[in-house]
Chain A
Amino acid sequence: MVNVSIRNLTFTYPQQSRPVLNAVNASFPAGQFSLITGVSGGGKSTLLKLIAGLLPSDTAGITFNDRTLTAIPATQRSRTVAMLFQEPSTQFTMDTVANELQFALENQQVPANEIPQRLTAALDFIGITALRDRKLMHLSGGEQQKVALAIIVAMDSAVILLDEPFASIDPATRLVLLQRLAQLSREQGKTVILADHDLSGYTDYVDRLTVLTDGQLTHLSPTATQDRLATFAPAKLRLQHVTVPADNQEALIQGHQLSLTANDRTLVTPQNLGFFAHHTTLITGPNGSGKSTLLRALVKLGHYQGEITYAGTDIHRLKRRRYARQVALMFQSAATQFLNVTVDEELALSLKNSFADHFTPAMATQLLTELNLADHREQIIYTLSSGQQKKLQLLCMLIMAPDVLLLDEPFKGLDYQSLQTVIRILKDVQRDLDLTYILVSHQLSGLDTFADYHLQLTDQHFVYRGVSA
């Protein structure tokens, strides 16, 4: 049982003038599930990394049962505190699930004869025994997060930190993880601190909500916590305006007997599938089911079986360079899409290469301001928060204005305010330039008036949902 307390903690990133955290005071008692919320780029990740001791800094203000992390011997620290990262694939050293677990337990100097049993128990607790010998790189993001939690369970860390762990995870996996976390805090007295900007679905699990605004933390009372969580009622997550495309409607992109596989695993069984011009199609489905694989196949980046045609021509017969003007993908990882160093340079590149004559530098500035990025024009992209990077990436891709823009989790890491702005900008540009959007998103709030079609992937098959037009 470990209580975390923070006293008068201030943190400023090098080369930035404003502190991200300003004289923060807070306490996170053992046996409680605490949720930290706040706008994207507000310092939630920074706070968690400081608690975990992953940022080089003077952290005398953070104590675990009145001991600072530096006072705890290095080999004992992972028993005290462990962290689950936002990006599922970046938290492993080894190749397979069992090897990674074994690595973590060996680091803790668990006697060799106890390791197999601890390993099995942790996998059982999370319910992923079947994944034991699978390659980590071949697992979906949700499965990887389950493995990461299993490792923390095996390490028996007293304080469990989670940084936006559900950012690209389907509701079912999220529910399993939340149940296990609540169990860990209530039954085993673990201190669970989770940072998330999306507050939906926490009502039954979270003990206390903490709000991070302007570098300050405020703990909410239990009543205030429940009130705040209720504003994210699941009723808002329903899509009520989507229609099913008519049978005779002509598709711009057409899959013929299209099927998808990943590492010998069938994702989608052969089917015909059309995407329609000048509309917004939202694709949903469990994580790891093949949504991103489909988007990659559509831009000729992944393997698929069958045929995909664009305006009647097999995409394999289209020149890559020319096709990139017609169908472009906004990648899930924002950094992939950047080619320069500063925000301004990146925008200038998009303006120069844009496929449409629509955007002017003045318009770009206007959009930057709307996205709260105007103060960051000279900043190095890679020092932006993940939410800010996402907004800049979206802006760059919109300015490129390809005929069809594929968006893979475009709202990942965005706070509610940014989400509203981004959706409005997407709508405006679509209206002005007659673009076609195909997007994959787990984040569904605010999409009701945006999506025209809803394509659902269940049981290895895509089906359009909604009322008949």
Chain B
Amino acid sequence: MNPSLKLALLVLVALEISFTHVWTVNVVLIVVSLILMLAGHVSVKRLALLTLIPAFFGGALVWSLTLRGTATTHFLLVIFTRMVAYVYMGGWFAQTTDPLTLTRSLEQNAKLPSKFAYGFLAAFNLMPKIQAEVSTIKAAAMMRGQVLHFWSPQLYFKVILAAMNWSDQLAAAMTSHGFVEDAPRTHATTIPLVARDWVLLVGSLILVQIGLFVGLP
């Protein structure tokens, strides 16, 4: 499916289930997301993580609400399934969408200004670099007799400084490779946006509406 429409579908459905209380629809969304993730060869470890984290937090929330004794079972069921559904849908999107394809699609199909599209991509590409930087900063500080913990302000100062430095370098690199804000670009790789994508988007949305309508008390 076209990444931009996929993103739109995700946001719309997530918004809808935020305002409606139909746990059966949430369950269907969880099952569908799971099937799509399995079809997309998402690793078992990832799936386990995606299940355990919302199950833990959802469970904690349900437990605390039960203790207060004001919430109905239906409400608890909705809250729990909604949380898992969010994470599963997010997981489906994140695990089955290539960031570069999404960037190109946002630029070409959604007509997002290229500086936002490529800014997003650059930030994404920076993630592993930040992780590596944190462990390097900690080690380097230890070699100067300073122990940095994850709550040490100095650690954040260093990481922010590094990130600011990278953003300057990145801006220079993009300029040097001919990137000009708001200037037209050509596209050697075009991201197709075909009737099938629209059918999938509209079809899915209709199905969710029917589910919500039927399921409403």
Cα A460 to Cα B169 with chains together (Å): 33
Tell yes or no: B131 within 8 A of A by CB.
no
| A111, B170: Cα distance in complex, Å | 25
* Residue from the set B122, B154, B180 with the largest chain A CB neighbour count within 10 Å: B180
Q: Does A402 contact B (CB under 8 A)?
A: yes
Minimum C-beta distance from A92 to chain B (A): 6
A74 is an interface residue with CB less than 8 A from chain B: yes
B45 to chain A, nearest CB (A): 19
- Residues of B127-159 at the interface with A, using a CB-CB cut-off of 8 Å, are 128-129, 135-137, 139-147, 154, 158
Report the stretch among A166-174, A202-210, A244-252, A324-332 that lies at the interface. A324-332
CB distance from B119 to the nearest CB of A (A): 10
- List the one stretch of B17-25, B78-86, B182-190 in contact with chain A: B182-190
**Contact A320 B142, CB 8 Å, known A336-B137, A382-B161:** yes
Q: Does A425 contact B (CB under 8 A)?
A: no
Q: Are the C-beta atoms of B174 and A93 separated by less than 8 Å?
A: yes
Main secondary structure of the interface of A (DSSP, over half): helix
Q: Decide if B177 touches A85 in the complex (CB within 8 Å).
A: no
Asked whether B176 lies within 8 Å of A336 as measured between CB atoms, the reply is no
B173 touches A90 (CB 8 A): yes
In the complex, which range does the number of interface residues on chain B fall in?
35 or more
Q: How far apart sit A422 and B180, CA to CA, in the bound complex (Å)?
A: 43
Count, chain A residues at interface, CB 8 A: 62
Q: How far is the CA of A103 from the CA of B125 in the complex (A)?
A: 15
Q: How many angstroms from the CA of A371 to the CA of B103 in the assembled complex?
A: 48
CB atoms of B145 and A94 under 8 A apart: no
User: Which residues on B sit within 8 Å (CB–CB) of A78?
Assistant: 176-178
Bound together, the chains give a CA A350 to CA B11 distance in angstroms of 51
- B94 in the interface (beta carbon within 8 A): no
CB pair B188–A95 under 8 Å, yes or no, is no
List, in ascending order, chain B residues with CB within 8 A of A301's CB: 135-136, 139
Complex interface residues of chain A between 101 and 122 (CB less than 8 A to chain B)? 102-112, 115-116
**B135: nearest chain-A partner, CB-CB:** A301
Contact of A435 with B by CB under 8 A: no
Q: Do A111 and B139 have beta carbons less than 8 Å apart?
A: no
The answer to the question of B118 belonging to the interface, with a C-beta cut-off of 8 Å to chain A, is yes
The residues of A that contact B178 with a CB separation of less than 8 Å are 75, 77-79, 82, 104, 107-108, 155
Provide the residues of chain A in CB contact with B175, threshold 8 Å. 53-54
A168, chain B: closest CB distance, angstroms: 16
Given contacts A54-B175, A155-B178, 19 further A-B contacts (CB under 8 A): A75-B183, A78-B177, A78-B178, A79-B178, A91-B177, A105-B188, A106-B185, A107-B185, A108-B178, A112-B188, A115-B188, A137-B128, A137-B129, A299-B139, A301-B135, A329-B139, A329-B140, A349-B144, A349-B145
16 pairs, A vs B, C-beta closer than 8 Å: A77-B180, A79-B178, A85-B172, A93-B170, A93-B177, A94-B100, A94-B121, A104-B178, A108-B178, A112-B186, A116-B188, A137-B129, A155-B178, A335-B161, A339-B146, A349-B145
By Cβ-Cβ distance, the 10 closest A-B pairs, closest first, are A353-B145, A78-B178, A107-B178, A328-B143, A115-B188, A104-B177, A90-B169, A324-B142, A91-B173, A74-B180
